[in-house]
Amino acid sequence: MDIDGRLGLVRQVGEEIVTEEDLKALLAEKRRPIAYDGFEPSGRIHIAQAVLRATNINKMTRAGCRFTMLLADWHGWANNKMGGDLERIRTVGRYFIEVWKASGMDLDNVRFVWASDLVKEEAYWRLVMRIAIQSTLKRILRCGQIMGRKESEVLQASQILYPCMQAADIFHLKADICQLGMDQRKVNVLARELAPRLGERKPVIVSHHMLMGLQRVETAANDAAERAIEMKMSKSNPDSAIFMTDSADEIRKKLQKAYCPEKQVRDNPLLEYAKYIVFERFPDLTVERPKKFGGDITFSGYAALEKAYAEGSLHPMDLKGAVAVAIDEVIAPVRRHFERSSKARELLEQVDGFQVTR
């Protein structure tokens, strides 16, 4: 694949790219650049972390990237996830890997790395310290949104350490591309700015879209990253997200209750699910309707679906029913994996028994 083809795939992933000129130069220089993402293991994994993540990673690997997935167990510990119990956090991380195995991710080009292995190396902590020395406390506090927190919510000293560790991850893992969500933008920009002073290469930032939650959220945020954070799905509110072992009935009920105003395209979670999940997996979507309401209709591509919805020729309940069927089909292989694998099932039972802490 030529550079334009590879660039086109990465553009499909990046809602924002910093900078496209740097990305093009990187792709010209390296056939196999390293991209990375990091995950705090905290509770059950939802559809954005599994299916949407697999879709984006597969596009990156098709563009020639090798992908590093960091299981950020020490970061979750610093952020007091799972009650600050590191062993429980690691259990959740192992459960995450089992979900990814069954989510259609290109595992031949993905490697999993644990933060608990990185912290054994002196070179890693030297990087953390150098980043801390080069950063002001105010700047680090502004990075609190990478932990899902506002500046005023960064209350523990360990949470101040977190952004320094995450910036160090980028350089220690030799990542050419930071391919994380829009909510991680601030620390990625920090790493880019500090790179020359650390004698490191500036990483390219490819920030992917954050799938919004199923329930209505009012936000006055103008900043793209802050807006994405406020509207994204939340593990602490089970009705705001589809989880990867939800039953067909649970999926149907959640989508029936989801925010989906008639004719409204902007900030409509059902249309987001259709665009970023359904049409990435299937070439078309069939909506089954009684003949008195127009009969069954098949949409070949998201644009046609959005147009019909905006015009009012597709009712919210019909959209919800069709998306529920498609999402169930996407998630079914993961459910089967947890039914058939005793190891996966045992991990899920343990995770379900843990109390999730924000």
pLDDT truncated to tens, each residue of the chain (358 aa)? 899 999 999 999 999 999 999 999 999 999 999 999 999 998 899 999 999 999 999 999 999 999 999 999 999 999 889 889 999 999 999 999 999 999 999 999 999 999 999 999 999 999 999 999 999 998 888 887 665 656 566 567 888 899 999 999 999 999 999 999 999 999 999 999 999 999 999 999 999 999 999 987 776 556 666 656 665 656 667 778 999 999 999 999 999 999 999 999 999 999 999 999 999 999 999 999 888 878 899 999 999 999 999 999 999 999 999 999 999 999 999 999 999 999 999 999 999 988 666 5
In angstroms, the CA 54 to CA 48 distance is: 9
Give the pLDDT score at 221.
Answer: 59
Q: Are 171 and 134 in contact (CB under 8 A)?
A: no
All residues at 6 or more sequence positions from 305 whose CB lies less than 8 Å from its CB, including other chains = 271, 274, 279, 285, 299, 314, 319
Predicted pLDDT of residue 291:
86
Domain with CATH 1.10.240.10 in the chain: 224-353
- Shortest CA distance to 227 belongs to which of 217, 214, 237? 217
186 and 205 Cβ atoms separated by less than 8 Å: no
Parallel/antiparallel/unpaired status of strands 297-299 and 285-287: antiparallel
Q: For residue 175, count CB atoms less than 10 angstroms from its CB and return exposed for 0-12, middle for 13-18, buried for 19 or more.
A: buried
The fold for domain 224-353 equals Tyrosyl-Transfer RNA Synthetase (1.10.240)
CA distance 163 to 101: 29
The predicted pLDDT at position 158 comes to 83
Nearest Cα to Cα of residue 97 among 354, 305, 344, 358: 344
d(CA 112, CA 107): 9
Predicted confidence at residue 167, as pLDDT, reads 97
Q: With both helix axes pointing from N to C terminus, report the angle between 316-340 and 86-101 in degrees, rounded to the nearest 10.
A: 110
CA pair distance 94, 347, nearest whole angstrom: 7
Q: Which residues pair with 37 in a beta bridge?
A: 69
User: Which residues of the chain are in CATH 3.40.50.620 domains?
Assistant: 3-208
Is the domain defined by 3-208 classed in CATH 3.40.50.620?
yes
pLDDT score of 226:
62
pLDDT of 134 reads 95
